[in-house]
Amino acid sequence: MKQSQPYIFISQLNKTYKSDSDVVALSDINLSIERGTAVGLIGPNGAGKSTLIKILSGIMRPTTGIIEVDGRIPYKDRKAHVATIGVVFGQKTQLWWDLPISRSFDLLRDIYRVPKQRFVRTRDRLIESLKLGSFLERPVRQLSLGQRMRAEFAAALLHEPALLILDEPTIGLDAPSKIAVRSFVRDLQRDQGVTILLTTHDMLDVEEIVERIVLIGHGRILADGPLVDLRKRFSFERQLDVDFFDNAPDLHLPDGIELLAKTESRISVAFDPNKHSPTDVISLVAAQHQIADMRLQPRSIEDFVTALYEKHGALEQ
């Protein structure tokens, strides 16, 4: 039986910027993404993420290689392609600055040629789920950043795209707005089967939204797999934060226990629970100094991603 093509298929993709000295932005990118999955494209600045997003969006042509989204070549079939994707950039807007949100929505309906009945149904659902009703008639320039980003999500989804590309969607948002955005994206993927591509430096976005991560560094894919598997492989350590009644002591730590940080009255250590049990580590610390309080937790997602970058040489030397 012939196997069906992945929703996003990229093979031996390369992008070089021509200048006095050619700059290789992407090199030999191979990637397959199934419909309805949430994938995080992560990597440090300059890794090639934005270039890949631009090629996937159809606004940039690769130098060589194959790229198809739902059987279409984005830069060749651009009109048909953009009708099926939505894009949200954290620092750019697709809304009209001096117009009320409702008027921007009407203009987007005309641009995408969405049938009126379908548009009204989708618009009303988005207004309710994103809680836009209280500021729907206000100009975009009068909105807070959190309000504007909720309106940006609605604008990107009015034509019911199958693919939603998110580039730093929570940048600058306060904590409640970030939580609301993450919850909305999770529900969108689960309930409507929308394929999500996320680029972000906020690792809580990664942890809350995606199920698979693709690490890009120096224009290449350095790691690719389910988030849970990569965390097991690269971030199995536990972190113990210990508070003391007085000044934190200089602890004697055996091999396999790493001092992460030391402040006036707190010490944080990391350890592999397969080599040192949490009870043994706590006992080791308590034997050397009186403990006021402690907290045991997995290493943070930021620690995990930093370790992933370092392991694969993604960071600039």
pLDDT digits (tens, 9 = 90+) for 178-229: 888 888 999 999 999 999 999 988 878 888 899 999 989 889 998 898 987 7
Fold held by 237-298: Alpha-Beta Plaits (3.30.70)
Task: Compute and round to an integer the Cα radius of gyration of the chain.
Answer: 23
Contact predicate 149/95, CB 8 Å: no
User: What DSSP character marks residue 20?
Assistant: S
- How far apart (Å, rounded) are the C-alpha atoms in residues 98 and 119? 22
Which residues of the chain are modeled with pLDDT < 70? 1-4, 20, 231-236, 298-304, 311-317
- How far apart (Å, rounded) are the C-alpha atoms in residues 164 and 188? 10
Task: Break the chain into its structural domains and give their ranges.
Answer: 8-232, 237-298
Please list, in sequence order, all residues whose beta carbon lies within 8 angstroms of the beta carbon of residue 57, skipping any fewer than 6 positions away.
74, 82, 85, 87, 165
Instruction: For the beta carbon of residue 105, count every other beta carbon within 10 angstroms.
Output: 22
CATH architecture for the domain at 8-232: 3-Layer(aba) Sandwich (3.40)
- How far apart (Å, rounded) are the C-alpha atoms in residues 190 and 209? 11
**Two structure tokens written together for 45:** 């600045």
**Would you state the pLDDT for residue 317?**
45
pLDDT digits (tens, 9 = 90+) for 221-268: 988 989 877 766 655 678 889 998 888 888 888 888 888 888 889 999
Q: Give Cα 177 distance to the centre of its chain.
A: 16
Prediction pTM value: 0.78
**Would you state the pLDDT for residue 315?**
57
Place of tokens 């992945």: 6
**Would you state the pLDDT for residue 178?**
86
Tell me if 8-232 shares its fold with 237-298. no
Residue 88 sits at φ, ψ, to 5 deg, of: -125, 115
Contact predicate 10/31, CB 8 Å: yes
